[in-house]
Amino acid sequence: SQNNEQLMQRRNAAVPRGVGQIHPIFVDRAENATVWDVEGREFIDFAGGIAVLNTGHLHPKIIAAVEAQLKKVTHTCFQVLAYEPYVELCEKINAKVPGDFAKKTLLVTTGAEAVENAVKVARAATGREGVIAFTGGYHGRTMATLALTGKKVPYSAGMGLMPGPVFRAQYPCELHGVSEDDAMASIARIFKNDAEPCDIAAIILEPVQGEGGFYVASPSFFKRLRALCDEHGIMLIADEVQTGAGRTGTFFAMEQMGVAPDLTTFAKSIAGGFPVSGVCGKAEIMDAIAPGGLGGTYAGSPIACAAALAVMDVFEEENLLARSQAVGERLTNAFKAIQSKHKAIGDVRGLGAMVAVELFEGGDVHKPDAALTGKIVARARDKGLILLSCGTYGNVLRILVPLTASDELLDRGMAIIAECFAELA
């Protein structure tokens, strides 16, 4: 069999360079929070397939549920012949998403597709077209979600302008000088300069920005957004694709924000490595689109629905929400200990197990240190730890380790990060 270098050569010849790759490694197999590459080398996985593996690689319960489904039916297309796992998953999601009202859920396949459909529903329900999205927000790689995504390079660079009408508000971030008042004022400015409230179908944001840098919005900010949306008949969309499925210590991060969104998108860890996503919202809003306006050939695949139902059981049986809090505390404490020795770490933050540190030259918040961040990601890999960066300036180290990882493995991973700082910072 071929080694990483040989496979990378084949990959580079066969796959467009636009499909980036953070680590020049080909994986052979995985288990919980450990992966082995094609050369037999073992790595601790702190990336979790970008927030997909809150229940770890190949969780036995999830694999068993998928195997059982594989022997019954793998595909009919739900719009042709329905199957119970789809309906059961929607019922469970309706019960879990915050909001004291009747809900309905649509299943699709990817996070971007969920966001696209949330916007479609908001447009149909309001009869309006405009959407307000935020600086640094990330919502996907399709044309409409790229328009919502608040970062041009690399996501939509060289592709021209994306379809509108999308208006950009400021995401609150005290660290970089944007207060909640500033963020609200940026929306007021949109209403004054660009679009009347009656032109706006939805305001969409992540309760904790994922790709944008793990900045956490507050309950007070959400309260103000909720009031603004209520005043003007605007749909509030919470994009929980990265924050959902228990990452932040509650099943959905919005449970901690004190208000209910009209629409919620989810994907990633909801099905523990199988592709399913969706939109959950107020029943009458979700019903705004007529039959035939929602769906997709593979949308809500029986295999992925079976996996998602097993993910929910695993959360209950293994008490993973409490574990998410505990993992968050452990990682935060370890980062704070590193921060006490290294000025480069300007901020340690997060919600539940969604934890990150932001790096600056000499601790100066005006000098984001993407170079050091990149060096730490590469050195950690050399030492056997798979890490991810993120952030508008590429200067944030983020942890998305499976919640099922042992304390011992978390400590080993954090010890590697500490070593990297000692050697490089």
350 residue type, one letter: G
Residue labelled with tokens 């809900």: 103
For ligand PMP, which is the closer residue by CB, 204 or 372?
Answer: 204
Choose which of 123, 139, 323, 379 interacts with ligand PMP (CB under 6 A).
Answer: 139
**Number of chain positions touching ligand PMP (CB under 6 A):** 15
Q: Rule CB under 6 A: is residue 389 a binding residue for ligand PMP?
A: no
**Do residues 396 and 214 make contact, with C-beta atoms less than 8 angstroms apart?**
yes
Q: Shortest approach of ligand PMP to residue 274 CB, angstroms?
A: 12
Q: How far is CA 312 from the centre of its chain?
A: 18
For ligand PMP, which is the closer residue by CB, 115 or 331?
Answer: 115
Cis-peptide, bond into residue 165, ω within 30° of zero: yes
Only one of the segments 30-38, 93-101, 111-119, 254-262 lies at the binding site for ligand PMP (rule: CB under 6 A); that segment is 111-119
Q: Shortest approach of ligand PMP to residue 138 CB, angstroms?
A: 5
Q: Rule CB under 6 A: is residue 210 a binding residue for ligand PMP?
A: yes
Q: Shortest approach of ligand PMP to residue 363 CB, angstroms?
A: 28
Q: State the pairing for strand pair 130-134/166-169.
A: parallel
Tokens coding 285: 């809003």
Choose which of 106, 147, 195, 241 interacts with ligand PMP (CB under 6 A).
Answer: 241
Report the residue number whose CB is nearest to ligand PMP.
111
Q: Shortest approach of ligand PMP to residue 380 CB, angstroms?
A: 21
Beta bridge partners of 131: 166, 202
For ligand PMP, which is the closer residue by CB, 240 or 369?
Answer: 240
Q: Rule CB under 6 A: is residue 350 a binding residue for ligand PMP?
A: no
Q: Give the sign of the dihedral formed by CA 298, CA 300, CA 301, CA 302.
A: negative
Choose which of 239, 262, 358, 369 interacts with ligand PMP (CB under 6 A).
Answer: 239
- 66 SS3 class: helix
Q: Rule CB under 6 A: is residue 38 a binding residue for ligand PMP?
A: no
Tokens coding 250: 């509650």
**Do residues 299 and 275 make contact, with C-beta atoms less than 8 angstroms apart?**
no
**Do residues 137 and 304 make contact, with C-beta atoms less than 8 angstroms apart?**
no
Q: Rule CB under 6 A: is residue 237 a binding residue for ligand PMP?
A: no
Q: Shortest approach of ligand PMP to residue 268 CB, angstroms?
A: 6
- Cα of first residue to Cα of last residue in the chain, in angstroms, is 38
For ligand PMP, which is the closer residue by CB, 390 or 409?
Answer: 390
**Do residues 246 and 403 make contact, with C-beta atoms less than 8 angstroms apart?**
yes
Q: Rule CB under 6 A: is residue 50 a binding residue for ligand PMP?
A: yes
Q: Shortest approach of ligand PMP to residue 22 CB, angstroms?
A: 13
Q: Shortest approach of ligand PMP to residue 275 CB, angstroms?
A: 8
Q: Rule CB under 6 A: is residue 45 a binding residue for ligand PMP?
A: no
Residue labelled with tokens 């593996």: 53
Name the DSSP letter for residue 260: -
Which strand ranges, in their side-by-side order, compose the sheet holding 34-37? Answer: 27-31, 34-37, 42-45, 385-386
27 residue type, one letter: V
Tokens coding 4: 């990483």
Residue labelled with tokens 């319960």: 61
Choose which of 98, 111, 172, 368 interacts with ligand PMP (CB under 6 A).
Answer: 111
Q: Shortest approach of ligand PMP to residue 206 CB, angstroms?
A: 5
Choose which of 110, 256, 339, 395 interacts with ligand PMP (CB under 6 A).
Answer: 110
Measured between alpha carbons, how far is 171 from 166 in angstroms, rounded to an integer? 15
Q: Shortest approach of ligand PMP to residue 239 CB, angstroms?
A: 5
Smallest CA-to-CA distance from 188 within 203, 210, 174 is with: 203
Q: Rule CB under 6 A: is residue 206 a binding residue for ligand PMP?
A: yes
Q: Which residues bind ligand PMP (CB under 6 A)?
A: 50, 110-112, 115, 138-140, 206, 210-211, 239, 241-242, 267
